[in-house]
Chains A and B, each alone.
Chain A
Amino acid sequence: MSTIAAPAAPARRSLYTPYRMRIAKVTDEAPAVKTFRLEFVDPADAAAFDFKAGQFGEYSVYGEGESTFCIASPPTRKGYIECTFRQVGRVTSALADRDEGDIIGFRGPYGNIFPIEQWHGKNLLFIAGGIALPPMRCVIWNCLDLRDRYKDVTIVYGARTVADLVYKHELAEWDARPDVNLYTTVDPGGQTPDWKGRVGFVPTVVEQVGPSAADTIAIVCGPPIMIKLTLPVLTKLGFQPENIFTTLENRMKCGVGKCGRCNVGKLYVCKDGPVFTFAQLRDLPAEY
């Protein structure tokens, strides 16, 4: 258990001063992938905090740096936020070393949102690959928590291997729900003897599942190659670019349109995104 003293309250708080968050729960998701449940140390921060599905934040270990992840829990679950990250660099390694009870920093929420209120009465098709499920998990739970507002919910999720699938308990939960169609898949060679899901790449599975484009919103998150190969499949199924959403993962530092890192065309992914439709992306330079 650690303590972190509150900064002396200046007249105005710098945008760079993070909220102090206590790690309430650590979940090992996959090799080098963890989920943190974070609670506000200061009740006033918790009371003032609000976010919507699709937004992200800067998570920090004091003295090691900040890292950008989406908020992976839905706004319908109050009192905490969750983030899921893979241990890759200096900051994510330092984060992975933290334990339950430790304090880390968070600033946000930043960025735009998935317009889920405009999706009322529609079918939802979620397509995700690997570590790109976390941004979508926020939307999935948000919509499942408001289940009666949406029609069919279909989820296609794939990873390289069975071990690399994240949120395994929740996948089981979704699989068991009669009101969710879940298709999990792993790349050829990534299956285990007792694997009951599919074997094949995500775009192929989407094609096999063949969801109807009628009255359906597709949300696609994954590595660039998966997105590139999934789009033609969706187009073939009749999806219009304005009904396909994704969230971009450009490198970011400030999160508020100043540091210049995520600038693509006239847009800042941190301010104008990270959520875009493919109709919007078509008009942007492909620098993401």
Chain B
Amino acid sequence: MEALRQRARELLAAGTVQAVLGYAAGSEPDRARPCFVRTAAEADGLIWNEHCRQNLATYLQKPEVRALGRLALVARRSTLRALLQLAAENQLADGRVVALFVADDGAVTELPTLAAIEELVARLPRGLSDADRQELDRIAALPLGERQAYWAGEFARCIKCYACRAACPLCYCARCITEANQPQWIPVSSDPLGNLEWNIARAMHLAGRCVDCGSCSDACPEGIRLDLLNHVLAEEARTQFGAEPGYSVRKDYALASFKPDDKQEYIR
């Protein structure tokens, strides 16, 4: 933690960045909250623990945050992947943010360029945590009817507050499909059909783009495991198209590229 604070102080003191987006102590011991450190003295408030979960790359799209100037971003693996995917989607210019990657042992790596992020992410272990993998395998092993019932039950609790969308670093559309009303693609009600269509539409729009940060399900007031749904689609995209988002700034993710040898069987 001290390494992180020290690095933040140096970046601010040197004027390399105007603000450091990190985490501060939350209102309870089991929480952390995003914070915006503007002076070296404020860096004392930065913390790092397992509760620092909200993907801070989400804030890069907010005008109020952009107005702060050049930023450093306290990052875990999924934050770095979000930065690369945003760059691949032309949403982030190289050098606009300095990533401060914090490893499990607390060591901080300063990553001033996208190339540096690419290089580091490539060396990180991939895949889900054991607990998430177990839960995903459990759901995947359910017979189709039960699996359908599981997700129907989860989506039944959705209240369409759109916290999943607001917390997601890749949900940056100025006008979301759910707000398009000419025509109204997605039913507005949070009834079974409206919830199903909203959650599937969001999952499909993130297929091959989701970077597995879990901010969506952390944000869901009903605790729906949207992260697992997104991960299934990520695995599907990787299997079908060989693309894994958030490892490269190249614009080669499945939804944005076409190759003559792409699988076509799903179009019938």
Touching chains A and B, CB distance < 8 Å: yes
* Nearest CB of A to B9, in Å: 39
Chain A residues, Cβ within 8 Å of B182: 89-90, 93
Distance in angstroms between the alpha carbons of A142 and B184 in the assembled complex: 40
Asked if B181 lies at the interface with its beta carbon under 8 angstroms from chain A, I say yes
Distance in angstroms between the alpha carbons of A93 and B182 in the assembled complex: 9
Chain A residues, Cβ within 8 Å of B181: 89-90
Chain B residues, Cβ within 8 Å of A93: 182
* Nearest CB of B to A259, in Å: 14
**Per-position binary interface string of chain B over residues 145-183, scored 1 when its CB falls under 8 Å from any chain A CB and 0 otherwise:** 000000000000000000000000000000000000110
Distance in angstroms between the alpha carbons of A89 and B182 in the assembled complex: 8
* Nearest CB of B to A186, in Å: 31
* Nearest CB of A to B7, in Å: 41
Chain B residues, Cβ within 8 Å of A90: 181-182, 184
* Nearest CB of B to A280, in Å: 30
Distance in angstroms between the alpha carbons of A93 and B183 in the assembled complex: 11
* Nearest CB of A to B176, in Å: 16
**Per-position binary interface string of chain B over residues 184-201, scored 1 when its CB falls under 8 Å from any chain A CB and 0 otherwise:** 100000000000000000
**Please, which residue of chain B has its CB at the minimum distance from the CB of A65?**
B181
Chain B residues, Cβ within 8 Å of A89: 181-182
**Please, which residue of chain A has its CB at the minimum distance from the CB of B183?**
A90
* Nearest CB of B to A256, in Å: 21
In chain A, positions 75-97 with a C-beta closer than 8 Å to chain B are 89-90, 93
* Nearest CB of A to B135, in Å: 39
* Nearest CB of B to A93, in Å: 7
In chain A, positions 48-93 with a C-beta closer than 8 Å to chain B are 89-90, 93
* Nearest CB of A to B178, in Å: 14
**Please, which residue of chain A has its CB at the minimum distance from the CB of B182?**
A90
* Nearest CB of B to A144, in Å: 39
* Nearest CB of B to A31, in Å: 19
**Per-position binary interface string of chain A over residues 244-286, scored 1 when its CB falls under 8 Å from any chain B CB and 0 otherwise:** 0000000000000000000000000000000000000000000
* Nearest CB of B to A91, in Å: 9
**Per-position binary interface string of chain A over residues 37-51, scored 1 when its CB falls under 8 Å from any chain B CB and 0 otherwise:** 000000000000000
**Please, which residue of chain A has its CB at the minimum distance from the CB of B180?**
A90
Distance in angstroms between the alpha carbons of A90 and B184 in the assembled complex: 9
* Nearest CB of B to A253, in Å: 13
In chain A, positions 114-145 with a C-beta closer than 8 Å to chain B are none
Distance in angstroms between the alpha carbons of A90 and B188 in the assembled complex: 14
Distance in angstroms between the alpha carbons of A90 and B180 in the assembled complex: 10
**Please, which residue of chain B has its CB at the minimum distance from the CB of A94?**
B182
Distance in angstroms between the alpha carbons of A89 and B181 in the assembled complex: 8
**Per-position binary interface string of chain A over residues 86-112, scored 1 when its CB falls under 8 Å from any chain B CB and 0 otherwise:** 000110010000000000000000000
Q: Which B residues fall within an 8 A CB radius of A?
A: 181-182, 184
Q: Which A residues fall within an 8 A CB radius of B?
A: 89-90, 93
Closest CB pairs A-B (n = 3): A90-B181, A90-B182, A93-B182
6 A-B residue pairings within 8 Å (CB atoms) = A89-B181, A89-B182, A90-B181, A90-B182, A90-B184, A93-B182
